[in-house]
Amino acid sequence: MSLLAALIRNLLIAASVAWVATSLPASAAEPSQANPRQAWQMLDYIAVDYAGAIQHGRVVVPGEYAEMQEFANTVRTQLAALPAAPKQPALVAQADRLVAAVAAKAEPAQVAMLARGLADDVLASYPIGAVPAAPPEPARAAALYAQQCAVCHGPTGHGDGPAAAGLDPPPIAFTDAARAAQRTPFALYEVISQGVPGTGMASFAALPEDDRWALAFYVGSLAYSPQARTDGEALWRKDAELRGRIPTLEALTRTSEVGLAASVDAEQASAIIAYLRSRPQAVNESVADNPGPFALARQRLADSQRAYATGDAAQARSFALSAYLDGVEPVEPTLATRDAALMRDIETAMARFRTQIGQGTAPAEVSAQAVQITELFDRAETALQDTYTDTTTAFLGSFTILVREGLEALLIVIGMIAFLRKAERREVLPYVHAGWIGALLAGGITWMVATYLVGISGANREVTEGVSALFAAVVLLSVGIWMHQKSLAGRWQQYLHAKMSAALTRRSAIFLFLLAFVAVYREVFETILFYIAMWSEQASSAIIAGLVAGSVVLAAVAYWMLRMSKRLPIGRFFSISSILIAVLAVILVGKGVAALQEAGWVSQVLVTAPRIEWLGVYPSWQSLLAQLTVAIAAAIGFFVNTRTSRALAREAKS
C-alpha cells in the first residue's frame, strides 16, 4: 500500500504541475532573466528561510543553504540585467553585499536586513504594482485551498498533505507562527502567482487575480487562532492610532507582523494582523467609519500611486486631482487659519506630484513625492487636531473665507455702480442689481443641491471658477482699456454728451447684468462649498458669527468705495478705475488658469516663484504667462490710447 500511495502522490504532483504549465503562456512558464517581480520574491524567501539554513555561522541544512546561495546569486544576475534605472547600480551593489553575506554564513538577522532592504529598494525602483482591486474575501478561498493547495500543504496548512513526503524541499507549513510573522500577503500572492523555481511550488497564474489574492490572505491567516482574531478586532475598533499604522488596503498587503511589531506592541501586532488577514475589508471600513481630515486625500493618493505603477498614467492623474480637489481643498480654509505656510506646502507638493505623473517621471520619484505629501498630511492633521471645535479657529475661518471671496466680486460690482452714477445712467442700475442679487439666489440653489441632492466634485467646482474667472478677466480688460481711453484729454466729456444715448443700449445693459452675475456667482459658488465643508454643529455659532462679521466688513468697504467715487472728478475716476480694473483682470486670469489646472483642463509646469493668492500669482509657467499676456495687452491698450489722445490734441491745436 505504501508503494501505491507513493505512486498516486507523485502522479498528483505531476498532474498539478503539468496543468499549470500548459495553461500558461510561454513568457509565464519560463521566467525572464530580468524579472524584478521574481527577484523581489527570492529576496523575500532569503529573508525568511536563511535562518533555517545557518545557525551561529554553521550550516545546519546543506540543501537549504545551497538554495540560499543560488537565490542570492540569481537575484544579483537579474538585477544587473534589468532595464537601466537611476538606482540600478546601487541595487547591484546591495546584491553583491547580500551574496557576500550569504557566502560568509553571516548571522540570519544581518542577512534578513540586507534582503529586506534590497527588496524594498527593488520595489521602489521597479514597481510591480500588484494590489487587489477590491478587498479580498479569505473565507471564499477555503474551497479553493482544498482543491489546489491541500494536497501538498495539508488540509489545515501544517505542510502535511498526501504529496508532501515526496517533495524536496518540503512544502511550507502555513501554521508556523514564526514564519507567518515574517510574510506579507503581497509575498504570498507573488508565490502563488509566480511559483518558486527549484521547488514543488508551481505558478498558479492561471487562477483569476481575485482568487489569488483571496488565497494569499487565507493561507496568511492559518497561523493565527480565533482568539487572536477576536482580540485584534477589539483593538482595531477602539484604537485610532493602530488604524493609522495600516491606513489603506495597499499598506495591508505590504505589512507583516514583524514589520508592524517594530512600531507597536508585539502582542498587539499579532492580534491586528490575525484580524486583518481574516477580514481585510476592515481597512476600508475604518477609513469610512473613522475619517480624519485627510482620509480621502490619503486614499486617492494611494490609488494614484497604484495606477501609475501599473502604467495607467491617465487614471493616476485623475486620482491625483481628486486627492487635492476632493480631499484637501475642503479642509483648506480651516488649515489656512492655523498654518497658512503648511497649506501652501501641501498645494505645491501635490502640484509637483501631478506634474511628475504628467511628465512620465520614474515611479520611484513619484513614490518619493507621495511620501513627502503623506508627511505633510500628518503635520496638517496634527495642526488641525481639535480645531473643528475651536471657536476662534472656526470664526476666523468663516470670516476670512467671506472677506477673501467677496472682495473681488465687490470691486467689480461697486465699480459698475459708481460708473453708472458718474455717467448719470441710473436707469441701467437695476440690471446690475438684478445680476448680483440673482447670483446670490443661484448660490442658495447651489447650496441646496450640494447639501441635499448631489455632491459637487472638486473638478466641477474648479472648472466653474476657472471659466467664470477667465470670462470676467476678458471683459474687465476690454472695459479697463475703454475707460482709460475716456479718461484722456477730456474724451469722457465727449462720451457723456455726444454718445451716451447709443453707448448704453439694452444689449449693453444685459451685458452688465451678465458681468455682475458671473462675477458674484463665481465667488458665491466657492464660498458656499467651503462653508459646507467646514460646517460642524459644535462650531456653528462661531461660523455664523464669522459670516456676519465678514458681511459687515464688506458692507463697510462698499460704502467707503461709493463715497470715494462720488468725490473724485469724473476724469480722475475713469483714470483710476481703468488701472484698478486692468489689475483685477490680471489677477482673475491667474486665478482662472490655476483653477483649470487644478481641474486637469490645463497642463501645469512648475517654476520657482512665489505663491501670492490674493494677486492670483501661482508658481506655474501657464498661469504666469497668462497674467503677463493680459498685463502686456493692457499696457499696449493704454499706450495706444495715450498716443491717439496726443495726436488728437495736436490736430485740435493746429
Q: What is the pLDDT of residues 584-634, one digit of tens each?
A: 788 878 887 887 777 667 777 778 778 787 777 888 888 899 999 999 998
List b or e across 139-176, with b for residues whose CB sees 16 or more CB atoms inside 10 angstroms: eebeebbeebbbbbbbeebebbbbbbebbebebbbbbb
Residue 100 confidence (pLDDT): 93
How many Å apart are CA 203 and CA 193, to the nearest integer? 5
Closest CA relative to residue 299, chosen from 257, 256, 251: 251
Q: Band the pLDDT of 24: cuts 50, 70, 90.
A: very low
Q: Are 480 and 585 in contact (CB under 8 A)?
A: yes
In the chain, the percentage of residues whose pLDDT exceeds 90 is 7
How many Cα atoms within 13 Å fall on the side-chain side of residue 462?
21
Q: Which residue has the cell 496638517?
A: 380
E strands of 146-198, at which residues? none
For residue 27, name the pLDDT band (cuts at 50, 70, 90): very low
The cell numbers describing 626, all together, are 497668462
DSSP for 8-57, written as a single string: HHHHHHHHHHHHHHHHS-HHHHS--SS-HHHHHHHHHHHHHHGGGTEETT
Mean pLDDT over 303-308 rounds to 82
pLDDT at res. 582: 82
All three cell numbers of 427, joined, read 436707469
- Could you tell me the pLDDT band of residue 415, with boundaries at 50, 70 and 90? confident
Residue 515: CA atoms inside 13 Å, Cβ hemisphere, count?
27
Residue 390 phi/psi, 5-degree rounding, is -85, 110
Q: Is the dihedral of CA 295, 296, 301, 306 positive or negative?
A: positive
| Phi/psi at 436 (5° precision) | -75, -30
CB of 373 within 8 A of CB of 301? Answer: yes
Angle, to 10 degrees, between the axis of helix 88-103 and the axis of helix 108-125?
160
What per-residue confidence (pLDDT) applies to 270? 92
pLDDT band at 649 (very low <50, low <70, confident <90, very high): low
Q: Residue 19: what are its φ and ψ, rounded to 5°? A: -60, -45
Closest CA to 116 of 195, 34, 184, 185: 184
- Unique residue bearing C-alpha cell 544587473: 80
Q: What is the pLDDT of residue 450?
A: 54
* Of 62-66, 315-319, 479-483, minimum mean pLDDT range: 479-483
pLDDT at res. 9: 38
Taking CA atoms, 106 is separated from 44, 109, 322, 512, 546, in Å, by 17, 8, 48, 81, 66
Confidence of residue 22 (pLDDT cuts 50, 70, 90): very low
- Taking residues 267-290, what's their average pLDDT? 79
Mean pLDDT of the chain: 77
Mean pLDDT, residues 149-172 taken together: 86
| Cβ count within 10 A of residue 397 | 26
Give the span between the Cα atoms of 170 and 177, in whole angstroms: 17
Give the long-range contacts of residues 629-638, CB within 8 A, separation 24 or more.
629/589, 630/473, 630/477, 630/585, 630/586, 630/589, 631/582, 631/586, 633/477, 634/477, 634/480, 634/481, 634/582, 634/585, 634/586, 637/477, 637/480, 637/481, 637/484, 638/481, 638/484, 638/578, 638/582
- The DSSP annotation for 408-426 comes to HHHHHHHHHHHHHHHTT-G
Model confidence pTM above 0.85: no
CA terminus-to-terminus distance, the chain: 128
- DSSP SS3 for 266: helix
Q: What are phi and psi of 606, to 5 degrees?
A: -75, 150
Interatomic CA distance for residues 613 and 624, integer angstroms: 12
Residue type, 344: R
Per-residue pLDDT tens over the stretch 463-478: 666 676 677 677 667 7
Nearest to 286 by CA among 272, 301, 271, 274: 272
pLDDT of residue 628: 93
Phi, psi angle pair for 490, to nearest 5°: 75, 15
Cell of 322: 481628486
**Helix, strand, coil proportions of the chain in percent (round to 5)?**
75, 0, 25
Res 513: pLDDT:
84
Query: In which residue are the cell numbers 465643508 written?
Result: 533
Rg of the chain over all Cα atoms, to the nearest angstrom: 34
Give mean pLDDT, residues 640-652.
75
Q: What is the mean predicted confidence (pLDDT) over 51-68? A: 86
Separation of alpha carbons 553 and 546, rounded Å: 11
Cis (ω within 30 of 0) for the bond into 169? yes
Query: Is residue 14 a contact partner of residue 151, using CB atoms and an 8 Å limit?
Result: no
The residue with greater pLDDT, 236 or 647, is 236
Identify which of 320, 411, 349 has the alpha carbon closest to the alpha carbon of residue 614: 411
Q: Using an 8 Å Cβ cutoff, are 412 and 563 in contact?
A: no
User: CA 514, 520, 526: angle at the middle one, nearest 5?
Assistant: 130
Q: Report pLDDT digits (tens) over 182-235.
A: 888 988 888 888 787 777 788 888 888 888 898 989 999 999 988 888 888 888
pLDDT value at residue 449: 65
